Amino acid sequence: MQLFVRADVDTNLLPKTPLFGTDGIRGKAGKLLTAPFALHLGYCAGKVLRETTADDAPVIIGQDSRNSSDTLAMAISAGLTAAGLDVWHLGLCPTPGVATLTKDSGAAGGIMISASHNPPEDNGIKFFSSKGTKLDDLLTQKIEQQLRATEPENSDRSWGKHYYRPKLLENYSQILRQSLPAALDLTGMRVVLDLAWGAAVNIAPAMFKQLGAEVISLHQLPDGDCINVGCGSTHLDLLQQAVTAYQADLGFAFDGDADRVIAVDGCGRVVDGDYILYLWGNCLKQQQQLPDNLIIATVMANLGFERAWLGSGGKLQRTSVGDRHVQAAMWRTGAMLGGEQSGHILCHHHGVTGDGIQTALHLSALVRQSKVSLTELVDGSFQTYPQILQNVRVEDSDRRSCWQECEPLQQAISQAETAMGKQGRVLVRASGTEPVIRVMVEAINLELTNYWTNNLVSVVRQHLAA
């Protein structure tokens, strides 16, 4: 049978910059991410994935609660089936659920429809290999080459089929449970969960309740209009207020697709990824389960965390921002623990991708087994340096991608670094997931941090955002 597949996509209108960023393809739903584009992407991805796996291996698709996710999931599924691949659609689920089940079921690959922590009007398409890891650069480049091809292609393969299989998520929940200490009992622990109206709403509360915890849920329904809006891992005020109001032991805020988590202690203080890495790392080190006492972190990791970890006899290696870079360094070095300050935590003892629900469960287990509160654990760890991160929206993609060629900005960065010396540091970068330039300044005191943050943000606005 000859099949002719071509979505109504003008490849000449695609952005000239690479479509795949640090976490798949992301953009405004209805602009770059349209149904025709997703159909064409699914077909191109299907052709590439078929070359890497057995003919009968399916592709697993999951999605978050955004209003555009249904459309994009159905369109990309149509493209995959047109390329001859079967699709197992999980429906609403966390991103790590897709990664875990892809690896566990022998699938050809996995696809998650989500823009993580971004606002509701955005969406994204994340790809996973058959091993549950982010698709490597070579395969994403092949998919992008297919996407940009100007000539339509024929296929002589038969049609694939689409299956709706949400019950597979029970296997994911079971895998999460098996990663925890066998006798773990959270009875008597009161936990507040901010579910961000997103992908964690069905699984996270159920897991904590099964372990005996008393659960108070915020933003607990899937809502495509509200996902991440004023809540979740990037907006912690409501969780902090709820933890103190309910006198909870701890709280957790997930992002829209639940691959990251930020904790809050019983006093309402933020416990970010740096603290989670430090506490989990110390636990693994004491159990002699942390090879070479090495943790992989990114350039965003706080200097206070770095100096405390090194002072305790640990080793720290930094990477570029993005959990895919952390993952690559972990495979390269044999490290078993790594992550980002933003709450992406990867522990190779239990999985191959960042998992916010798994991290929350393990931190709760650590608190229960330590027989002290999270507040006491944090107080005994380290003091962070004041760190400010500001995003400057730069809609012009060419300006954004060429920010390093902006001479006034480079001069301002050099001036800040010279002035602070060893008392601080500067990190400026273009986001791989949003149309922004991120400006981070960290210094020994808040006054110094504020001064140089304001200075650099002003320069970016004047020379790149104008």
Residue with tokens 């304001």, as numbered in its chain: 454
Residue with tokens 């395969």, as numbered in its chain: 139
Quote the CA–CA distance of 160 and 149 in Å, as a whole number.
Answer: 23
Q: Which residues pair with 113 in a beta bridge?
A: 63, 125
Candidates 194, 201, 282, 265; CA nearest to 231 is 194
Q: How many CB atoms lie within 10 A of CB 39?
A: 24
Quote the CA–CA distance of 323 and 354 in Å, as a whole number.
Answer: 7
Quote the CA–CA distance of 447 and 420 in Å, as a whole number.
Answer: 12
What is the amino acid identity at position 339?
G
Quote the CA–CA distance of 5 and 83 in Å, as a whole number.
Answer: 8
CA distance to 51, 64, 84, 86, 344, per residue, from 158 (Å) = 15, 30, 5, 11, 39
DSSP for 404-426, please give it.
Answer: GG-HHHHHHHHHHHHHHGGGEEE
Answer yes or no: are the C-beta atoms of 117 and 234 closer than 8 Å. Answer: yes
Q: Between helices 273-286 and 303-311, what is the axis angle to 10°?
A: 10
Which residues are known to be catalytic?
A: 116
What is the amino acid identity at position 75?
A
Tokens at 391, concatenated: 């995003």
Answer yes or no: are the C-beta atoms of 259 and 357 closer than 8 Å. Answer: no
- The residues near 171 (Cβ < 8 Å, ≥ 6 apart) are 101, 104
Residue 45: its H or E element: helix 35-50
Answer yes or no: are the C-beta atoms of 232 and 266 closer than 8 Å. Answer: no
Quote the CA–CA distance of 31 and 240 in Å, as a whole number.
Answer: 36
